[in-house]
Amino acid sequence: MSDAARECPHGLCDGGGMVVDVEQNTTYRCRCWPEQVARRRARRLSREVPKRFRNLGFEREPIPSIARDAPEVVRAVRRYCDRVDEMLDRGEGMWFLGSPGTGKSHLAYLISQTALAAGRSVAIYTGPRLLDEIRRTYGDEDSGSTLDLIDRLTSVELLHIEDLAVARPTDWVLEQLYNIINGRYENERSIVFTCDLTGDDPDANPADPRPLANHITQRNFSRLMEMCGDPLVLAGIDNRRIQVRRPAYDEVA
Ligand SMILES: Nc1ncnc2c1ncn2[C@@H]1O[C@H](COP(=O)(O)OP(=O)(O)OP(=O)(O)O)[C@@H](O)[C@H]1O
Ligand SMILES: [Mg+2]
Ligand SMILES: [Zn+2]
């Protein structure tokens, strides 16, 4: 999709962020200028959607199956997608918590796909990749490049992080995470992320957000809570394991 595809949300300019007033013979910045700047800066961020998560839709599997297992979660995602512009303008996000193979990533990608289709700037990273990119900027000659990357990660209209809790939280990791999360918090920018902290414990409650708070520190957690609201919980069996015999499983159930 082209970056210029988005029209001016205020209907004032041609989508380029400048308004030409022919009568007054002047040119001035449109109200959408800050968004246009954010969009231009976001071009250098990753927004590759992996093949598995392309062309998602509410009517296409596995979303209907996920909706059967967790109807209220998928309803909330639909509400978000229906009003994606408003949600992004307000800096509201979503987070998906739960056990492996329950559809968290499909729902998160459905949101970023909807935002991209609406012409908004989106950056998509896995937790480890995000930290890796930041780490790499430290080697650069230009000492400003880390700040510049953090800055771009802060200003993109939607930041989608897959598997936030996978990265091992060293002090350095937590500091970078704080820079990004707090930057987005202050700028009222949306975050969508998925997270699985059940680990190897079969008795772990996937709906319990406390392990995440311990994992990423209370101050990061508290900001995410305010931006993303209550977590959307997807629990139950790992659908990757039962996929091949899903029909039989359904008959029994
Ligand atoms: N409720 C469901 N019904 C049927 N299939 C599902 C359901 N949820 C997920 N799947 C299938 O399970 C696989 C995993 O889905 P997805 O990657 O979205 O899970 P996830 O929750 O992000 O897992 P992880 O925590 O391991 O990243 C996919 O092949 C998907 O089609
Ligand atoms: Mg996933
Ligand atoms: Zn404009």
User: If you measure from the C-alpha of residue 177 to the centroid of ligand 1, how many angstroms do you get, rounded to a whole number?
Assistant: 26
CA distance 188 to 94: 13
Cα angle vertex 39, ends 37, 44, to 5°? 110
What integer is the mean pLDDT of 30-42?
82
- Judged by DSSP in three states, 10 sits in coil
pTM for the structure as a whole: 0.84
pLDDT band with cut points at 50, 70 and 90 for residue 2: very low
Mutate to test the pocket of ligand 1, among 102, 164, 195, 243 (most ligand atoms within 8 A of CB): 102
Task: Locate the DSSP E strands across 58-173.
Answer: 94-98, 122-126, 158-162
Domains in the chain, ordered, with CATH? 1-35 (no CATH), 44-252 (3.40.50.300)
- Ligand 1: residues whose CB is within 6 Å? 62, 65-66, 69, 100-106, 194, 196, 234, 239-240
CA distance 165 to 147: 23
196-227 confidence digits (pLDDT tens) = 876 666 677 877 888 888 888 899 999 999 99
What integer is the mean pLDDT of 120-128?
91
- Rounded to the nearest 5 percent, the helix, strand and coil shares of the chain are 50, 15, 35
Higher pLDDT, 101 or 15: 101
CA dihedral 110, 112, 114, 117 (to 10 degrees): -140
